[in-house]
Structure formats: C-alpha cells, structure tokens
Amino acid sequence: MALTILAALAIFVVLAFFRASIASWVLAVIAIVAVVAIQESFSDSVLLAVGAVLLSLILLFGVPLLRGIVISSIVLKIFRKILPHISATEQEAINAGTVWWDGDLFGGNPDWNKLLAFPKCGLSEAEQAFLDNEVDQLCALLDDWDITHNRADLSPEAWQFIRIKGFFGMIIPKKYGGLEFSAQAHSAVVSKVASRSGTAAVTVMVPNSLGPAELLLHYGTDEQKEKYLRRLAYGIEVPCFALTGPFAGSDAGAIPDYGVVCHGEFAGKKNVLGIRLNWEKRYITLAPVATLLGLAFKLYDLDRLLGGEVNRGITLALIPTDTPGVKIGRRHFPLNSAFMNGPTQGKDVFIPMDFIIGGVSGIGQGWRMLMECLAAGRSISLPASSIGGMKMAARTSGAYSRVRKQFHLPIGKFEGVEEPLARIGAHTYMVDAARRFTALALDMGEKPSVISAIVKYHATERGRIVINDAMDVHGGKGICLGPDNYLARDYQQTPIGITVEGANILTRTMIIFGQGAIRSHPYVLKEITAVHDRNHRRALRQFDEALFGHIGFILSNAARSFILGLTNGRGISVPRGSETRRYYQQLTRLSAAFALSADVAMVALGGSLKRREKISARLGDVLSQMYLCSATLKRFEDDGRPAEDLPLLHWAMQDALYKIQQAFDGVIQNFPDALAHSILSVLVFPLGLRLSPPSDHLGHEIATLLMRPGAPRDRLTAGMYLPQNERDAVGALEAALHSTLESEPLQAELEKAHKAGSLKSLEELPRILEARDQGIVTEEQALQLQRDYALRRKVIMVDDFAPEQLRVNK
C-alpha cells in the first residue's frame, strides 16, 4: 500500500511538471484507484460506488460543456462579484502594447533558444555614419558648463545644428524628410549625446519620444501628416506635448483641463465648429520655445452639437503656440539642468475640429493613443540617456582611479574603491544590455508596455547607483563645480529621469507587476476579458478554457518549482556554454517559482493585492531582474562570448540572482496569509536560501578591467563620446591614463635615484630636469615625464573662481 501511495504521488508530480490536461489527471486517479482496489480487494458495492464517483469526475472534468455548466458558471458568477472594477482608462492601459519576452518569463518555462534566436542588435551603415559624424560633431559643440552655468541654454550654434541635421526627425519617415532611424539607432544617438550633455540629450530625445511626431505618425490624418511632419523633421517646428498638470500628475486620467464643443471665430471665419479650451500644465519639456503644442484634455459636448454623449473622453489636439490665448515662455529650473522645460496655460483658446489628432474620429481616443505610444519613451529615451551617463561615469572613474594616487598607490587598488568600481562596471554592462535588447523589441514591431516600465525603472535607478559611486570614487574632484567637473551635473540631474514618465516609486509598486500580472500572464487577461464579456455563452466558454488552463498552470509550476528547487535547476536542458549554463538553469527554476508565487498572491489576496504595494513591488523586482538577466545573457552571446567580459557577466548575473532570492524571501516573509506563506516557503525554497552575492574577487577583476585600457573597457563604454582634445577634462583624463601607464617605469627610476641621493630636488618638475641632466633619462623621456605631470595635474586639480565670477547677474 505504501508503494502505491508513493507511486501515486510520483504520478501526480510528473503530471504537474509536464502540465498535463485535466483529463490526464482524472485518468491517473482512475488508474491509482484501480490498483488500490485490486490490492485491497474491496467489495463490489464499494467498487461500484468508487466507479460511480470516478465516472462523475470524468464527465464533470472531461466534458467541457458539462464542466462549464456545473463548475465554471458558478466560478464565473463569483468572479464577477469579487473582481475589482476596472475603469476605462485602466482597461486601455492594460490593453496597450504587446507581450514579448515578459510573457515567456511569466510562463514559468522560458525558451532560451528562442531568446538567442532573436536578431543581433546593430545599426545600418547610414545610422552608424550619422553616429560617427553628425553626433560627434554635435558633441564637439557642447560645453556643458557653459550650457548649464552661463547660458542656461544650448548655444545658438548647437540649436541650429540640431535642427538642420535632422535630430528632431529621427523617427519621421524619409518621405516626410526625416531620418527614419531604427529604435536602436535612436537609442544610440541619445546615449552618445547624453554622455556629453544631459541638456542636449533631452532636447534631442523629446521630439522623438511621446509627442506630436509620434502621435501624428500613428493616428494623424493624411492632411495633418502632410502639414506638420516635414516641418518637424526639418526643425522648422519645435514640438512639445502637455499632459501633466498641478492636480494630475501620475494620475493622468484625472486631468482637469477641458474643452467644450461650440461654434466660434477662427482665422477670420465665423460660426466655425470647434472647441474652446482651458488648461494649466507644468513640467512640459520644450514648452518655453515650442511652436507646436500637443495637448491632452477632456472633451465635453454640452449642447450635443456632435450628437451622442456629453462626456466625450480624453482627446488630443495639436495647437500652434501663436494661437490666441496660448501662454508659453516661462521656465522651470530642474536641478540646474538647462533644457527647456516650463508651464503652459490656455484661457478660452478656440481651435477648429481639424486640430484634433486624427480628426473627429480621434475624439475620446486620447488615452488609448497615449498608452500605446508611451512604450517608446520608456523603452528608448530614458534608458538611453541613463546609460550615456553611466558609460561616462564608468570610463572616467576607472581612469581616475588609476591616475590618482594616495600612499604611493593608485586609489583603484584599495579594496574600498574596488567595491564601487565593481558596481559601476557591472551595472553599466547590464543596463546597456537591457537598453539594446529592448530597442531590438521595438524594431521587431513590439510595443512592450511591461518591459518598457522595467527598463525605465532599472536604467534610472542603477544610473543613480553608478553616479553616486562615481562621485564617491572621485571625492573632492566630484563635488567642486566648474568646467573640468564631468560628473556633478549628471549627479544633480539624476532625479529628473527617476521622476518623469512614471515616477519610479509608482512604476515599481504599481505598474511592473500590477500591469504584468494581467498583461503578461498566460491566463489572467483571458479570465478578466471573459468576466466582462456580456455575451454569456461566449464568456462562459472562454472563462472555462482559461480557468482550467490556469489551474493546470498552477499545479505544474508548483511541482516544477519544488523539484527544481531541490536540484537548483540542474538537469534542465539549456543552450551551450559552460560559463552561462548554470545561469540559464537557475533562471528557469526561478521563473517557475515566480509564476507560482504570482498566482498564489492573486488567489490568496484577490483584489486587495492592488493595495499590497510592497508585495507587488517585490514580485515586480523578480520579474525585472529576470528580464535584465535575459538581456545580459543575450548580450554576452551577441558579443561573441568574449572571455575578457566574464567578470562583468558573472558579477551582474550573480547580483541579480541574489536580489531575486531576496525579493522572493521578502514576499514570503510578509505574506499576510499563513497557509500561503507556508506553501510558498516549501515550494519556492525547499532547501532554504542558497544564492550568494558576487565575490570580492570578481569585484577586483572588474576594477582592474576599468583601470586598464583595452578591448573589455572599450566594449563596456562603446558608443559614448570620447573627446580627443586634451584641453577637455575627459580628453585629458583619457590621455593621462595612457601617459601614467607609460611613464610609471620612468617614475620608478627617478624614485630609485632620489632614494639613492642622486637626485636632490624636492619637487617633481625640477627633479625631471635634474634626472635629464644626469643622464638618468633621455631628453625624449624627460619630455614624456613633463607631459605626464601636466596631464595628471589637470586631472587632479579642481576649478576655482574669483568671487565676482560666482555672483548672480542682477
């Protein structure tokens, strides 16, 4: 009997592991009962009763029609009562975008061969040429200290160059005069510009993000496209888009700005059917200099001039800023950044109906338009601008750590400095992988709404970690503002990216898992759709299929999570490569555990999960880290599996896997339901917490990599702007790194001679001349040492000012 019970358990586990159908489960129960009956010699009456029960189960679970009537219809009624109401704006947000690799991660069993089969990231010849020429030329025009301290604006030359070279038209098709760049090229351009100037990066990226051009491309009428796209591409029009206001920030669906359908006078014509608008917006980038204003507002048809409902919903319009009643020009001053950002107001502004994006058919479609287009801004602009700053911080921190010495030792060789250098290098490696991978998704036609939230959050948050670490490494060099400080403005302005396009607190606690649990889950959206379907027969059929598919999904992931937890993923078939095999296996195991935990949270907490933001945030952390790991593994493969990059790969992966473990533990330890807490503890971590953070040795290897010129360092920071002028602070630092390494053997000779008493000079420059005169070094070597001293001095020195230079002009 004991063997029969063990065999039964084994059968159930196997069925769950391989996601067997409900019918298979029933047949397994029949077989087991039959064996037990034979063994125990039950009486005929008992066997008959058992047979009747089993037959009922077969009919109940094996016949969809009967199952739907008896079980699914009852559950559907319950769901309709307990499921939280989803507003129209929430539904449009859920429906927006597409499911991509996040669906595989939510499925509990990612297909890694599918991941590696995605195309390699790369640029066309024309895109690469633009990056190497026009973008470098623009960067050479940018003096960030002059921009942020003296002008509070880009120079006229930079503005003109941006306009005439097509930077405002990267997403606009060539037939309208645009560059028609891929998402990868768009991202690469913003990234390189951001490595030079945050102000210029924002100026370039906003017209190519959520705004008039993108909205026109997707939803504009032919007349609107012909009227505006060419002018936008050539920089004749400067666009902005106004959504956020004083009383509607993250809750953009609550905007109080409104328009009323009425008749009015426009362009000398009377009795024109149009809209009278009133709005107050803030934080609008490019608004102070915009010539074309995109506006989101709620439209009302109080007199029913259009027929139908009075409340027509959120609508978008394009308004020339010289339209009477439009106010622009005043500026905000976000953390000493000089990009154009400010408020705009409109008082009784009358516009004709053809100003609505999409014309009359676009009425009430504004929220859907915004949600569908938001993925581009989150997927490209903010990750690209973040990684530009991160690459600059990585390259300069490594170089400074090698050039700057204390106690006769480069500061980067102190373990206390190695630690932040390791974080800088590994976070830069992983975030750039995610940036490239996400841009690839857009080029494949995806609009990954959940992934865009993941990459926006983690690019900006890790960017904050990197710039903080870079400031610590640079010490006093980092905190003194001036023309030679290449970190401080980035440090000051980092919170801007964290705040905009969905504040990071909101993104982590409500969007990533909250939207992902519905959008990326293989069954939840189907169940919700069925619940809200008013066609009862269709709803019941779809709900039945989704419900029992979901039940099988939960059972499968429970079994797989437990078994793979016991083996730590060993034995799973994964792509080749001894360096990465265990990472693929561990991620598969954690994906199954995540799918199970997500379902347990949704079942146990129901509608209250929406308010359990800390649990939702931790589950979102798990999903996010799995996505970042996937992108990192894909990058390593696409780069040709370079052995020199393994320290970066290992540190990034081990750190992410450890954070996944900690996030799971946070979910389980804080789960309010005791039973669910116990179940998850056993199924997710049957052997306890086994993963560890990266070792100190890995950190040492990364620090060494950052401080040494070579291919790994170049790959890590590829795509940043690297000035060749030694008068430039970054250019001088790069030159100083090479000079230091070349001159250290000569420095050692001088130090040896000084200790022997041959050289009497106490200062470095006179000592070099003394060594030259004594023949210790040649004339050429003396010149080399003098140049090295000058470069090191420029790198180490900080800016200072006469008092009158720091007074604000009255």
Q: Which residues contact 60 (CB under 8 A, 6 or more apart)?
A: 66, 67, 70, 71
Q: How far apart are CA 733 and CA 397, in angstroms?
A: 10
Give burial (CB, 10 Å; 0-12/13-18/19+) of 155.
middle
CA distance 50 to 685: 37
Q: How many CA atoms lie within 13 A of 361 on its CB side?
A: 4
> What DSSP letter does each residue of 305-353 carry, written as one string?
SSSS-SEEEEEEEEEETTSTTEE------GGG--S-EEEEEEEEEEEEG
Spatial separation of the C-alpha atoms in residues 682 and 558, rounded to whole Å: 10
Q: CA–CA separation, 185 vs 190, rounded Å?
A: 9
Give pairs for 762-767: CB < 8 Å, separation 24+. 764/789, 765/789
**What whole-number distance in Å separates Cα of residue 62 and Cα of residue 64?**
6
* Strand 326-327 versus strand 292-300 pairing type: unpaired
**Do strands 292-300 and 311-320 pair parallel, antiparallel, or not at all (unpaired)?**
antiparallel
Tokens at residue 74, please?
Answer: 């009852």
98 Rama class: left (phi>0) / alpha (psi -120 to 50) / beta: beta
Of the listed 237, 461, 501, 701, which one is catalytic?
501
CA angle 252, 254, 259 (to 5 degrees): 100
Residue type, 729: A
- For residue 780, what are its two tokens? 């050429």
Distance CA 503, CA 509 (A): 10
Specify whether 461 is catalytic. no
The catalytic residues are 501
